[in-house]
Amino acid sequence: MVEIEPEGRAIEQIKKMRYWEPFLGKAREIYLIGVEFSKEERNIVGFEWEKVGYRG
């Protein structure tokens, strides 16, 4: 939630914790998807994605 953490931190947390690593070699493509919510607005206020893996 953006009221707790500054905007832009969702995908940063995914990268820091390396949540995608168990899926390396098991999936053709891996995307990190960060979605930020606002408690005040009760809605999505930010969205980021990044491709980190591809196996041809």
Supply 36's token pair: 């930020």
Q: Kindly state the average pLDDT of the residues 10-22.
A: 89
- 33 close to 49: Cβ distance less than 8 angstroms: yes
- The model's pTM is 0.71
For residue 3, the model assigns a pLDDT of 57
Confidence of residue 2 (pLDDT cuts 50, 70, 90): low
For residue 50, the model assigns a pLDDT of 93
- 35 close to 5: Cβ distance less than 8 angstroms: no
